[in-house]
């Protein structure tokens, strides 16, 4: 099952320092770079080049670029679909803001967790607490099957 592969790959990035626009296990990554690195490990070559982006990208134009990109390559989940390990959560860091933070659901149940690259912390596994859960704008799943 691909979800278990996604979680195992993401856990391999734990401790990687936070570095904006990077995607290098052990050397530096941001949240998008983490997802890109996990994709490479479980799916192969990245599906499209990633343009340069600033820390405040898309906010002024209110452009949901990350959401559109996720829809192109991942399977979007319905609101009522239950979380599964390996699912990708897209977060809004503030109410009404553009969704621009990503995490991978690692554990479900009584103590859910997610893995993400967080500025000032690096790649960490954090509790998917109610404040984090409220920030989820959309959820996705890696596609199954051949590359």
Domain locations along the chain: 2-55+65-141
User: Cβ-count burial of 65 within 10 angstroms (0-12 exposed, 13-18 middle, 19+ buried)?
Assistant: middle
CATH for 2-55+65-141, options being 3.50.30.60, 3.20.20.80, 3.90.1720.10, 3.50.50.100: 3.90.1720.10
Query: How does pLDDT run across 114-127, given as a tens digit for each residue?
Result: 999 999 999 999 99
Distance CA 90, CA 62 (A): 15
Distance CA 83, CA 106 (A): 10
As a whole number of angstroms, the distance between CA 95 and CA 115 comes to 21
How far apart are the C-alpha atoms of 91 and 101, rounded to whole Å? 5
Question: β-strand 23-24 against 28-29: which pairing, if any?
Answer: antiparallel
pTM of the complete model beyond 0.75: yes
Closest alpha carbon to 4 in 41, 37, 34: 41
Pull the structure tokens for residue 53: 């982006």
Give residue 58's pLDDT.
Answer: 55
pLDDT for 49 equals: 87
Q: pLDDT tens digit string along 33-91?
A: 999 999 999 999 998 888 777 676 556 667 898 999 999 999 999 988 999 999 999 99
Residue 146 pLDDT exceeds 90: no
Determine the Cα–Cα distance for residues 11 and 62; give it in Å rounded to an integer: 32
């Amino acid at each position: 099952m691909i979800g278990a592969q996604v979680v195992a790959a993401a856990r391999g990035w734990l401790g990687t320092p936070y570095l904006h626009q990077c995607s290098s296990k052990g050397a530096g990554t941001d949240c998008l770079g983490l997802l890109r690195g996990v994709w490479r490990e479980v799916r192969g070559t990245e599906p499209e080049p990633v343009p340069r982006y600033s820390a405040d990208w898309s906010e002024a134009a209110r452009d949901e670029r990350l959401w559109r990109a996720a829809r192109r390559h991942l399977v979007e989940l319905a609101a009522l679909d239950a979380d599964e390990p390996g699912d990708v959560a897209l977060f809004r860091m503030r109410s009404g803001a553009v969704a621009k933070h990503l995490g991978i659901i690692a554990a479900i149940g009584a103590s859910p967790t997610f893995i993400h690259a967080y500025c000032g912390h690096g790649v960490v596994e954090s509790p998917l607490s109610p404040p984090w859960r409220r920030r989820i704008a959309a959820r996705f799943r890696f596609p199954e099957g051949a590359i």
